[in-house]
Chain A
Amino acid sequence: EVQLVESGGGLVKPGGSLRLSCAASGFTFSSYSMNWVRQAPGKGLEWVSSISSSSSYIYYADSVKGRFTISRDNAKNSLYLQMNSLRAEDTAVYYCARGMTTYFDYWGQGTLVTVSS
């Protein structure tokens, strides 16, 4: 059974940093691209970032480019999102999702990030 479990969310002040993790199990992690998608409270889904299976290709939404860094450790079956210079508008539930060509077939339950003073 495919499982994705996010962690690392919490309350952080504007301008602060946070590192999210996603632990994967139930599939060959190193064979799949991985993604972060977020959802602000009461709002729709927003794609954040994608990383290919070998980390060769990395993409970011314009809203986070230069502030967020996606990475993965295939030996640890883990996906990460380093978030710097956080803003109030980054407040959201952050989901990790497994990538399949151009879509996301399995999602974690999400971790809440709140940026507030």
Chain B
Amino acid sequence: SYVLTQPPSVSVAPGQTARITCGGNNIGSKSVHWYQQKPGQAPVLVVYDDSDRPSGIPERFSGSNSGNTATLTISRVEAGDEADYYCQVWDSSSDQGVFGTGTKVTVL
């Protein structure tokens, strides 16, 4: 089955840039989506199709995808961005959804 690997944690100071990676075999050939989940809440879609943002999501959230790594970038990080972030793809070879292992973003 397809595996997506994320760093367990990322720490960033307010106003700086956080980059969260999502590694997978030839992930650049797939569409990657990102979700933010705050404690006790349901996940929220923040980036879809590698780099598109749903309405209401700040431009500070951006995504890229190439080769074996997809990246979610959060610019000008705010305290409210502290959350768990998950990448996700649809594995068409097995017809199954796949989530990354998740990354906890801590704002220092």
Contact = CB atoms under 8 A, between A and B. Distances in A.
A44 B86 contact: yes
Interface stretch (B9-17, B18-26, B43-51, B67-75): B43-51
Contacts of A108: 42
A35 B97 contact: yes
Given A61-B96, A110-B42, A103 B102 contact: no
The SS class assigned to the B binding surface is strand
Nearest to B95: A59
A95 B43 CA distance: 9
> Interface range on chain B: under 10, 10 to 19, 20 to 34, or 35 or more?
20 to 34
A91 interface: no
A102 B43 contact: no
A21 to B, nearest CB: 17
B1 A45 contact: no
B45 A103 contact: yes
Interface string B41-81: 11111001100001000000000000000000000000000
Given A35-B97, A50-B97, A62-B1, A45 B35 contact: yes
Interface of A: 35, 37, 44-47, 50, 59-62, 95, 100-110
